[in-house]
Amino acid sequence: MDEMNVKAVETTENKEIRPKIIAVDFDGCLATNKFPEVGDPINKTISRLKQEQANGAKVILWTSRRDKPLDDAVKFCKEQGIHLDAINANLPEIIEAFGCDTRKIFANEYWDDRAVYMAEEENDWAAREIALACQSEREASEGADDWDYGVACYESALRAYRSLMQDGHSGFSIQITKSILNRLIDGKCLTPIEDTEDIWNEVTGEMDVKDGRREFQCKRMSSLFKTIASDGTTTYSDVDRVCGVNANSPDVAFTNGLMTRLIDKLFPITMPYLPSTKKYRVFSEDFLVDPKNGDYDTIAYLYILTPSDKRIELNRYFKEEDGKMVPIEKAEYEERKAKLVDKK
């Protein structure tokens, strides 16, 4: 890459995020091709272009027309409600970025009925990968009829991939976009949450009223709750920030209220709150002593790995008593462990 292009890339990607620039052809793209006359509007393209403009895109009319045919095309665009930021010319900010007025019109997207989509090979690659994965899903189902669920997920991923590829991302911008998308998929807010009255829905139940407390759920992030105790003390709990890992089955994740309350006590949430992309991982061990108690009735919370991967020892032990988990000493835990029974 020569010095001029390096400067342009640095200016357009690193210093600021510029609006999308679309260079759009006229004949065969915005209007049917009746050159030198003006053809009928191609409404699908016009509607999409106007939506792009509403989202902040800048539009360059990119056409071989000149003189009166060009004037007619410009008039047509105005009548269709299309604002032209330039006509067969680079935008001023692009000239500044490149340090000169390049012969080629610079744009993020070129709309032309005669264009060849050069990213098609990449999309074909993605389609082939999805096809192989779908075939594997079908073969693994061994005649069952539940393979279509996994196939539907693969096909959905392909549609999302193609949509992103059409936006013309660079290697830098796609990573930013991916991190934003991942947070949205995980139901995590993109900016810090402030404790203002308008972001909460009250979800106080009968038991809460009896205990003199009020419960609220966050509108911006449904996993976040606020509790106001009878004495006015306010605490917060994010039920999605904790993940349990069983030492006997490390590939199986779980969560429960006791574990969440433990993390809330050790690492209380304060406002403003922006959750980490990684969870607190609580490593535990559980077993069953009395078969009538279900899956387990004794549990040890051994240690925590924080979102920053710092290890914190816990060594807290509990047993089920009268339908509740109550703390016990390690010695009693070991005694119960010697009496464990196999889970059915």
Q: Between 7 and 294, where is the model more confident? A: 294
More confident residue, 184 or 211: 184
Six token digits for residue 214? 């009020």
Q: What is the pLDDT of residues 311-329, one digit of tens each?
A: 999 999 999 998 888 999 9
The per-residue pLDDT for 147 is 66
CB 215 within 8 A of CB 227: yes
- At 123 the pLDDT is 52
pLDDT of residue 3: 39
Task: Answer yes or no: are the C-beta atoms of 49 and 61 closer than 8 Å.
Answer: no
Sequence spans of domains, the chain: 3-111, 120-185, 197-337
Picking from 97-101, 184-188, 192-196, which range would have the lowest pLDDT averaged per residue?
97-101
Q: Is the peptide bond before 92 cis (omega within 30 degrees of 0)?
A: no
What predicted TM-score, i.e. pTM, was given to this entire model? 0.57
Distance separating alpha carbons of residues 262 and 258, to the nearest angstrom: 6
Give 78's contacts (C-beta < 8 A, 6+ positions apart): 84
User: Which residue type is seen at 143?
Assistant: G
119: phi then psi, degrees, rounded to nearest 5: -85, 5
The secondary structure of 63-74 as a DSSP string is: -S--HHHHHHHH
Q: What is the mean pLDDT of the chain?
A: 86
Average confidence (pLDDT) over 129-140: 85
Convert 221-243 to b/e letters by CB count within 10 Å (16 or more is b).
beebbbbbeeeeeeebbbebbbb
In the CATH scheme, what is the homologous superfamily, with its name and number, of domain 3-111? HAD superfamily/HAD-like (3.40.50.1000)
Indicate the pLDDT class of residue 142, thresholds 50, 70 and 90.
Answer: low
Write the pLDDT tens digit of every residue in 166-186: 777 778 888 999 999 999 999
Q: Work out the burial of residue 294: count CB atoms within 10 Å of its CB; fewer than 13 is exposed, 13-18 middle, 19 or more buried.
A: exposed
Q: Is 169 exposed, middle or buried (0-12, 13-18, 19+ CB in 10 A)?
A: middle
- The whole-number pLDDT of residue 29 equals 87
